[in-house]
A and B are shown apart, each in its own frame.
Chain A
Amino acid sequence: MAKTIMTIDDSASIRQVVGITLKKAGYEVLEACDGKDALNKLTGQKVHLIVCDVNMPNMDGIAFLKTVKQHPAYKFTPIIMLTTESQEAKKQEGKAAGAKAWVVKPFKPEQMLSAVEKLILP
């Protein structure tokens, strides 16, 4: 059975690009347009990995990260931050909130897949 990955980004084009890249590699993809939308869609089902943007309306990536880590079902779900932000302070903020990797846009599909394969839950 295919593993499930959730991708959260306010940009529809990024959601599509990430979705196509992951689907081609054989993963099932769930999409959300911001942190709040993602929390509404995470209803306890098994999600093997989350790819999340940082700067988003309603609820940004760091706030989402802090919130989702409180959820018992997603406490150990690895989260990759995908953002245009490359400032070291921001990365450290993400790390402190529980992110496992920080990918700077624009990413290459093979980089994304390599990070996903390295971190995805068995």
Chain B
Amino acid sequence: MTNENNEISYDGLLFIDLPKFKRLLPFHITLTVVITSVMAYSFDNYIRVPFLACNNIIDDLFWVVFAAGTCSLVIIKIIAKPLTRAATQENRLLISFVEECEHNKIKQRKLFHYFKAQQELDRLTTAHLEDVVKETDSAAGRIIAQAQGIDQSMTDMINTLAALRDQSELLAKASHMTISENKSTIMSLRDYVEKRMKELEEDYKKAFALSDKANSMITLVTLIKNISDQTNLLALNAAIEAAHAGERGKGFAIVAEKVRELSNRSEEAASQIGKAITDMAKRIETQFADRLVNRSNEKETELLKNLEAQLLNLGNSYEQLDGFKQLIIEQVEISSRKVATKIMELLANIQFQDITRQQIELVIRCMSDIEAYIEDLKVCINKFVPCEPSCSLPDFNMDTVLGYYTMEKQRDIHHEVRSITSNKRQLQAVGANNKPDGGDVTFF
């Protein structure tokens, strides 16, 4: 019974006239008494007296009417009293009903407002949650892209390091070969120097032997010179003797002269040979002077030894450097692999977004159910007819939500929250007590 503005109308209801009736009841009774009295008086004065002598029946009738009127008045009075009481009670009830109706109208309005606000709030929350899902989705995508970029860089670095290590190993092999070659070259050089020193010593000995022989040849030259001098002296004596012999000794004088000339020429030749031998011996001695030779050999040996030591040091330093370089590359490779593993773990942790998304989607689904329920409830409340046990709108069933869960943790929370409803502190602690159930692998 509602009008166009959804306001309740009481027109046509019988009990609405009762207060009016109750208000008019004393007036009716008084009027009845007055009319009855006036009628009794009029009847007594104007009808009963003129007709008194005529008929006694009229007198009796008067009293009958009077008695009937009095009785009616008494009966009316007796009936009116509870009626009045009932009417007063009804009036009171009506006032309270009207007041209650007014209150209910206010409550209904407030409920409507609440439902409307709740629905709008649900829609808003749903929109915000959907936005959160989108945001986390896009944030997860960005994190994945960045982590993938880092992972790619790490992979590139690992590959570069591997290539460097290979290259370094090749270089190290080449360097080891060079060092071995250097060592063998140094050994060859040392052998060569030693050989050369022996050869020099041999040459030196030969030269000295030659010099000795040259010196001994000078003795022979001196001997030739002495023979030549003796021959010259003999030739001179022969010439003197030839002069003593006179004419017969002339031929002998010529021979003595020729012998003297020959002797002079022999001496001259011996002198020239002696000079040549002396020059040769001097030259040999000059070239193979002991000190010079010894100093030169010592210096060469020292220089070679220094060179060998330097080359060996260089080789050792290079080997050490190569060892350090290998160590650095190995360390960087180990660290890079660790970082790459961490990046993969970081990427795996992005799965929280999917779990959060599913939890938010569950909340959105529950809110959607509540919204639909509120919509039905609005229709139900809007009806003026009172609710009956056979109401078509069922109560909201919390266990329906159980069917929406996608993980065991959600079911645990559901059961715990439903068993704890009154204790807020315990309720807050529920989430903290749940351990994550991820990472389990079952093979069938």
Closest residue of chain B to A99 (Cβ to Cβ) is B444
CA distance A9 to B148 in the complex (A): 19
Give A23-57 as 1s and 0s: 1 = Cβ < 8 Å from B's Cβ atoms.
Answer: 01000000000000000000000000000001100
Task: Say how far B84's CB is from chain A's closest CB, in angstroms.
Answer: 73
Residues of A within 8 A of B347 (CB): 17, 20-21, 109
Do A100 and B444 touch across chains, with their CB atoms under 8 A apart? Answer: yes
> Are A12 and B137 in contact, with the CB atoms below 8 A?
yes
Partner of A101, one of B151, B438, B442: B442
15 A-B Cβ contacts within 8 A? A13-B141, A13-B144, A20-B148, A20-B151, A54-B406, A84-B406, A102-B441, A103-B440, A105-B438, A106-B351, A107-B441, A108-B345, A108-B439, A115-B441, A115-B443
Q: Give chain A's interface residues, CB within 8 Å of chain B.
A: 9, 11-14, 16-17, 20-21, 24, 54-55, 83-87, 91, 94-95, 99-109, 111, 114-115, 118-119
Cβ of B78 within 8 Å of any chain A Cβ, yes or no, is: no
Given contacts A105-B438, A106-B351, 15 further A-B contacts (CB under 8 A): A14-B351, A17-B348, A55-B406, A83-B406, A84-B354, A85-B406, A86-B440, A101-B444, A102-B441, A103-B442, A104-B439, A106-B352, A106-B436, A114-B441, A115-B441
Beyond A13-B354, A14-B354, A24-B344, is A106–B407 a contact (Cβ under 8 Å)?
no
List residues of chain B with CB within 8 A of the CB of A16. 141, 144, 148, 350
B437 in the interface, Cβ–Cβ < 8 Å? yes
CA–CA, A119 to B348, complex, Å? Answer: 21
Which residues from chain A contact B358 at a C-beta distance below 8 Å? 55, 84
* Chain B binding surface, main DSSP class: helix
Considering the chains assembled together, what is the distance between the CA atoms of A109 and B341 in angstroms? Answer: 10
Q: How many residues of B contact A (CB 8 A)?
A: 32
Do A11 and B443 have beta carbons less than 8 Å apart? no
B355 touches A (CB below 8 Å): yes
Residues from chain B with Cβ under 8 Å of A13 in the complex: 137, 140-141, 144, 350-351, 353-354
Q: Which residue of B lies closest to A9 (CB)?
A: B354
- Provide the B343-366 mask, 1 if CB < 8 A to any CB of A, else 0: 011011111111101100000000
Chain B residues contacting A105 (CB-CB under 8 Å) are: 351, 354-355, 438
A102→B437 CA distance, assembly (Å): 13
> CA A111 – CA B406 in complex, angstroms?
22
User: Which of chain B's residues has its CB closest to A91's CB?
Assistant: B442
Chain B residues with Cβ below 8 Å from A55 are 358, 406
CA distance A105 to B350 in the complex (A): 11
B443 touches which one: A54, A85, A101, A106 (CB < 8 A)? A101
